[in-house]
Chain A
């Protein structure tokens, strides 16, 4: 045993010495701090339950935090950090937010609706701390909504993203489409109905409304399962050419089925093109962008929300460049529908020429065939 400890100790010392050597180079000359900010801003992102590499909300928001803070010369560990709660409960999220505040954070980014209840209490306990809530609004257990002045909520026009994806798919020549939703929550429904409206618009333009059909299904969860994969495989073998997979990790099931069938998938929330060759495009929410926009607001305002942000909810969409399809080379895998055509379409959505219904109660009236019992 003694020998063992001796070896361990020696190993520690050697490694410590190494670690000392490989310490990162002294930081590159720092960018000149933005003069607009008088108060040192310290940003903390608390993940909802997963990690910052979840290819979804946490990651998108975190990338926004990193982008903004690096631009302003803030460093990770000093100017910005992330925290992960110990379990999937409101109590744990509250605890973690408080830990961040104890560590000196004065701007807490909360990605996702799971923070709604947590922020309801924390916003009162910490009036000096600014909070940003993505995709939700604070409420208590009985769904009494209240947003204090130190909180800014951000919602998205998912129907626009869905519309763009549906339109692009049909324009690109796909006629048999599918929509795979995680669960019938409002955000997912808006994606889905938007997708149907976009496909319909393109089909009517092209005069092929009779030929285009959409299979529409909610999986009942956000986790990839074999059931979903089997269902998707069934769709693909029935002739479905492309499926808009909408929610959490279920794209994994859809991708697996698509790869096996040689068919296509449309991603969601963030640019998922790196996940698989079969993801031809993604209906993105500009999480990163929206976080940057909101942080800039506080930055310009001595670290506090401006009057039009404080206690308010903004709904971000095409007009703010916070929804869209990825147009970068490598992400754009549509063939007949070009980036230029897309930009033209996007501009119309942005300036309001095209309006898209965000009604989640009633299915949109369309001329293409939509099978809601697929």
Chain B
């Protein structure tokens, strides 16, 4: 059986077990309504055109942040900074739209560049000083969010706070969010190209196609180009990459730049849809962290990211229909269980391999040492690694 198929199967099993768990919860909370509501939840996403539109609307930025995490992960980096890059990208898009009155595509480009810029720092710190990218990217999440909040509330043009509604309308505008784009610059809204009419929903625009296009682009880069070859080589074995003469440091930075660009674009896509405004002062945006879930479920495959984002979005839309009988937060629990299980993807894969009698890779892993002696150093590392497992290994 193909490795890819096993990955898919592992994810599907995670999903099924997660859903089963959700059903269990529903039964416990309110048995009478569990089955009809569960069925409704599973079918809501395709039950009507507007629901489908919402699935696509939510999936687009999810795909982007998922791509961000997945791409970095493929190259051996854990980009937990997608949230910050997303926020910075969102700001760049909004600033270009509101202050500079640019059209939507330039705003998206700005989002891409800003996200990439925010990815540079963790990449540089990692490459030059070997500072763990997890730590720097977490810090840059906060720096990014705070900086954006600060800018939104302080950029003035002609004495007015240009990012806020009050500069654009008379009367008492809200002060905790940016001005609506339909007021400030309708040209910056991502075009709907009639899709909103087709699906009868204001949520709908072409952003899902943009996201899918980038997923395909990243897949091509990773699997078809020498650049992707280098990135993955360094990602899965940095030493072998160096041995092959690959500039590992440059690749680390580039990888984070691309990851940041993806997340930044995600921010642009979401806020240029014209439905939500950027609200000031809150916790880190969840979209970036949801990207981690999406990437995990997709086992970091860019094409898989499309489907896992669509799935997460689909089930979130389904979760809305649990209301009012059940609290819609149940859906978050279900998603959490699924992600939790897919984090055990390796385990699941091993189980699948065993059950269907395949999986060369794992078979050899389990063997411990199918490979004849390495030199002293390798062996010492090995002894370290296995030291703690000793009890399970042989002595119990």
Decide if A and B touch, CB cutoff 8 A: yes
Q: Which residue of B lies closest to A87 (CB)?
A: B276
State whether B277 touches A89 (Cβ < 8 A).
yes
State whether B17 touches A83 (Cβ < 8 A).
no
B282 interface residue (CB < 8 Å to A): yes
> Which of A19, A88, A100 interacts with B276 by CB under 8 Å?
A88
Residues of A within 8 A of B280 (CB): 221
Residues of A within 8 A of B216 (CB): none
Given A12-B27, A184-B175, verify A91-B276 contact (CB < 8 Å): yes
B171 interface residue (CB < 8 Å to A): yes
Q: Which residue of A lies closest to B278 (CB)?
A: A88
State whether A220 touches B28 (Cβ < 8 A).
no
State whether B28 touches A19 (Cβ < 8 A).
yes
State whether B183 touches A141 (Cβ < 8 A).
yes
The docked-state distance in angstroms from the alpha carbon of A152 to that of B263 is 42
B223 interface residue (CB < 8 Å to A): no
A208 interface residue (CB < 8 Å to B): no
A15 interface residue (CB < 8 Å to B): yes
> Which of B27, B172, B323, B351 interacts with A185 by CB under 8 Å?
B172
B279 interface residue (CB < 8 Å to A): yes
State whether A89 touches B276 (Cβ < 8 A).
yes
Interface string of A40-84 (1 = CB under 8 A from B): 000010000001000000000000000000000000010001111
Given A103-B324, A223-B282, verify A141-B180 contact (CB < 8 Å): yes
Interface string of B12-55 (1 = CB under 8 A from A): 01000100100110011001000000000000000000100010
A186 interface residue (CB < 8 Å to B): yes
| Those of A89-112 within 8 Å (CB) of chain B | 89-92, 95-96, 99-100, 103
State whether B281 touches A221 (Cβ < 8 A).
yes
* Nearest CB of chain A from residue B59's CB, rounded to whole Å: 13
A222 interface residue (CB < 8 Å to B): yes
B167 interface residue (CB < 8 Å to A): no
* Nearest CB of chain A from residue B358's CB, rounded to whole Å: 14
* Nearest CB of chain B from residue A355's CB, rounded to whole Å: 23
A11 interface residue (CB < 8 Å to B): yes
* Nearest CB of chain A from residue B124's CB, rounded to whole Å: 27
State whether A16 touches B31 (Cβ < 8 A).
yes
The docked-state distance in angstroms from the alpha carbon of A16 to that of B320 is 24
Residues of A within 8 A of B153 (CB): 220
> Which of A19, A84, A95, A185 interacts with B328 by CB under 8 Å?
A84
State whether B279 touches A142 (Cβ < 8 A).
no
B325 interface residue (CB < 8 Å to A): yes
Given A15-B24, A183-B176, verify A91-B281 contact (CB < 8 Å): no
Residues of A within 8 A of B202 (CB): 91
> Which of B27, B172, B275, B282 interacts with A91 by CB under 8 Å?
B275
* Nearest CB of chain B from residue A79's CB, rounded to whole Å: 11
Residues of B within 8 A of A23 (CB): 31
B355 interface residue (CB < 8 Å to A): yes
Interface string of A16-41 (1 = CB under 8 A from B): 10111001000000000000000000
B182 interface residue (CB < 8 Å to A): yes
* Nearest CB of chain A from residue B372's CB, rounded to whole Å: 34
> Which of A8, A20, A86, A139 interacts with B31 by CB under 8 Å?
A20
Given A16-B27, A84-B328, A141-B183, verify A223-B281 contact (CB < 8 Å): yes
> Which of B20, B180, B325, B327 interacts with A12 by CB under 8 Å?
B20
State whether B171 touches A12 (Cβ < 8 A).
no
| Those of B130-172 within 8 Å (CB) of chain A | 149, 153, 169-172
Q: Which residue of A lies closest to B180 (CB)?
A: A141
B316 interface residue (CB < 8 Å to A): yes
Residues of B within 8 A of A143 (CB): 169-173
B128 interface residue (CB < 8 Å to A): no
B289 interface residue (CB < 8 Å to A): no
Q: Which residue of B lies closest to A143 (CB)?
A: B171
> Which of B172, B183, B282, B324 interacts with A77 by CB under 8 Å?
B324
A113 interface residue (CB < 8 Å to B): yes
The docked-state distance in angstroms from the alpha carbon of A19 to that of B280 is 43
Interface string of B315-330 (1 = CB under 8 A from A): 0110011011101110
Residues of A within 8 A of B171 (CB): 139, 143
> Which of A12, A90, A186, A223 interacts with B172 by CB under 8 Å?
A186
Residues of A within 8 A of B276 (CB): 87-89, 91-92
A206 interface residue (CB < 8 Å to B): no
State whether A142 touches B169 (Cβ < 8 A).
yes
Given A86-B316, A91-B276, A221-B280, verify A81-B27 contact (CB < 8 Å): no
A1 interface residue (CB < 8 Å to B): yes
Residues of A within 8 A of B23 (CB): 12
Given A77-B324, A87-B276, A99-B323, verify A222-B176 contact (CB < 8 Å): yes
Most buried by A among B31, B50, B351: B31
Interface string of A309-349 (1 = CB under 8 A from B): 00000000000000000000000000000000000000000
The docked-state distance in angstroms from the alpha carbon of A309 to that of B361 is 72
State whether A91 touches B203 (Cβ < 8 A).
yes
Residues of A within 8 A of B180 (CB): 141
The docked-state distance in angstroms from the alpha carbon of A87 to that of B24 is 26
Residues of A within 8 A of B176 (CB): 183, 221-222
Residues of A within 8 A of B324 (CB): 44, 77, 81-83, 100, 103
* Nearest CB of chain B from residue A193's CB, rounded to whole Å: 16
* Nearest CB of chain B from residue A362's CB, rounded to whole Å: 16
Interface string of B219-246 (1 = CB under 8 A from A): 0000000000000000000000000000
* Nearest CB of chain B from residue A27's CB, rounded to whole Å: 14
> Which of A1, A18, A87, A183 interacts with B355 by CB under 8 Å?
A1
Show 17 A/B contacts (Cβ-Cβ < 8 Å), sorted by A: A1-B351, A1-B355, A15-B24, A84-B327, A86-B58, A86-B316, A89-B276, A91-B202, A91-B203, A91-B275, A92-B275, A95-B50, A114-B174, A141-B180, A143-B173, A183-B175, A221-B149
Q: Which 5 A-B pairs have the closest CB atoms?
A: A221-B281, A81-B324, A89-B276, A91-B275, A143-B171
Give residues in A with beta carbon < 8 Å to B: 1, 8, 11-12, 15-16, 18-20, 23, 44, 51, 77, 81-84, 86-92, 95-96, 99-100, 103, 113-114, 139, 141-143, 183-186, 220-223, 225
- Knowing that A11-B24, A96-B320 are A-B contacts, what are 18 other residue pairs whose CB atoms are under 8 Å apart, sorted by A's residue number? A1-B13, A1-B351, A8-B20, A12-B20, A12-B27, A19-B28, A83-B323, A83-B324, A84-B328, A95-B50, A95-B54, A99-B320, A139-B171, A141-B182, A143-B169, A143-B173, A183-B176, A223-B281
